[in-house]
Structure 1
Amino acid sequence: TIKECPLQSQRCAAKRVISYSGGSKYAELNSKGCANAEDCVVFSANFGIEEIKVTSKCCTTPLCNTQPAPEPSKSTPNGKQCYYCDEQTCTNILNCKGNEDYCFSVTGGQSVTMKGCVSKRLCTILDQSWARELTYTCCQGDLCNSTKDILLTPGHAE
């Protein structure tokens, strides 16, 4: 479907969101449309047992987003460590990979807690709609997302 971008500052975009569990891909969503320049990024969130990687490709000529966004690159450990939760505890240590340069904590509902590694971009993104009714915080520094962490205002990175 051809669509004209509503704002002249927007560009054509393709986006790919891939979910992994245990290192294996289990879901993939590809989309195309219009995006602001600041939304044309690559980022990931690693929950220890699950990982989500987002890639996007933006371009400025009409109908230039015919190809899907690229597959995420294979990432290797980057030396950063954060805590993550399993079904029993949130004191497991996760080795962050690739562009995951911040730790995060997410809480929601009565007992949902998730921790892990995340790209700075997800911590500083202006559109907070992805969080819905969740509360999330990001911090920088190894294992800074402990229960005693010094947390920043949701949606802001240190």
Structure 2
Amino acid sequence: MHLLTLILGIVLLPKAHTLNCYECVRGTSGACTDTANCPLPGQLCSALRLTSYTGGSKVVDVHAKSCALTSECVEASLNFGITKTTINSKCCNSDLCNDQPAPVPGKSTPNGKMCFQCKGQDCTATLNCEGTEDRCISAKVNAGGESITIKGCASKLLCLPETQKMSGVVGAEVSCCQGDYCNSASSTSAGLLLLVAPLVSLVVLP
């Protein structure tokens, strides 16, 4: 009798509700009409915007919609001085509520943290970190068979161990640290995403 009750309980137990969200990755144009049920209970619907600037001009503007964990609903940036990439994710908790694109993050202001940046071969220039950028970063990237060093500021989110799953895709040696000007020395800790496409993949894809 107890076994029968257990079986009936399992069969009749209602499934945990998961949201139905819009899901796509696209540029600034084009409609996002695909939908998907979130695979995990507790996930939210998310609209994400990744924007990259070079010399103050916008060069990349990618929109994405998907299911997301609360920890993935963030605002973060990666700043190398002349180039900067921002992530802005807006989350909500009802079916298909992510119908609107995420807004462009507002203009960031200096937060008092200071890091080194590279200008050509000279990596002793000062960079004022902005917004949520609370880490200094140092990286060596292979470009055209040549090793290039880049330094700057990054948000904590982009320095977490989870970013190591992009190691090998980026082909870079990277280190984040805390403290003003702590990125003075070169390092070889692999794992931070530095390219726009891997950055989108990290935040959008499960």
TM-score exceeds 0.5? yes
Cα shift at 1:154: 5.2
Structure of higher CA gyration radius: 2
Matched, 1:14 2:50: no
> For residues 35 and 125 of structure 1, do their structure 2 counterparts lie closer, same or farther at Cα, with a shift above 3 Å needed?
farther
Q: Indicate if the aligned counterparts of 2:165 and 2:191 stay in contact, CA closer than 8 A.
A: no
Cα shift at 1:146: 0.3
* 3-state SS, counterpart of residue 75 of structure 1: coil
- Summarize deviations over 1:12-48 as a string: whole Å, max 9, x none: 1110001111122221001111112211110001101
Give the TM-score normalised by structure 2: 0.68
Q: Indicate if the aligned counterparts of 2:116 and 2:183 stay in contact, CA closer than 8 A.
A: yes
Counterpart selection for 1:128 from 158, 164, 171:
164
Q: Indicate if the aligned counterparts of 2:173 and 2:189 stay in contact, CA closer than 8 A.
A: no
* 3-state SS, counterpart of residue 111 of structure 1: strand
Listed as ranges, the gaps of 5+ residues in structure 2 are: 1-33, 193-206
> For residues 65 and 99 of structure 1, do their structure 2 counterparts lie closer, same or farther at Cα, with a shift above 3 Å needed?
same
Q: Specify the alignment match of 1:118 in structure 2.
A: 154
* 3-state SS, counterpart of residue 140 of structure 2: strand
CA distance in 1, matches of 2:59, 2:141: 24
Q: Indicate if the aligned counterparts of 1:137 and 1:154 stay in contact, CA closer than 8 A.
A: yes
Cα shift at 1:84: 0.9
- Summarize deviations over 1:70-107 as a string: whole Å, max 9, x none: 21011111111101112222111111111111101122
* 3-state SS, counterpart of residue 182 of structure 2: coil
CA distance in 2, matches of 1:47, 1:39: 23
Give the TM-score normalised by structure 1: 0.87
State the number of aligned residues: 154
Name the % identity: 48
> For residues 126 and 62 of structure 1, do their structure 2 counterparts lie closer, same or farther at Cα, with a shift above 3 Å needed?
same
List aligned pairs for 1:1-158, cutoff 5 A.
1-109=34-142, 110-124=146-160, 126-131=162-167, 132=169, 133-147=171-185
- Provide the aligned C-alpha RMSD in A: 2.1
User: Which amino acid is 1:123 matched to?
Assistant: C
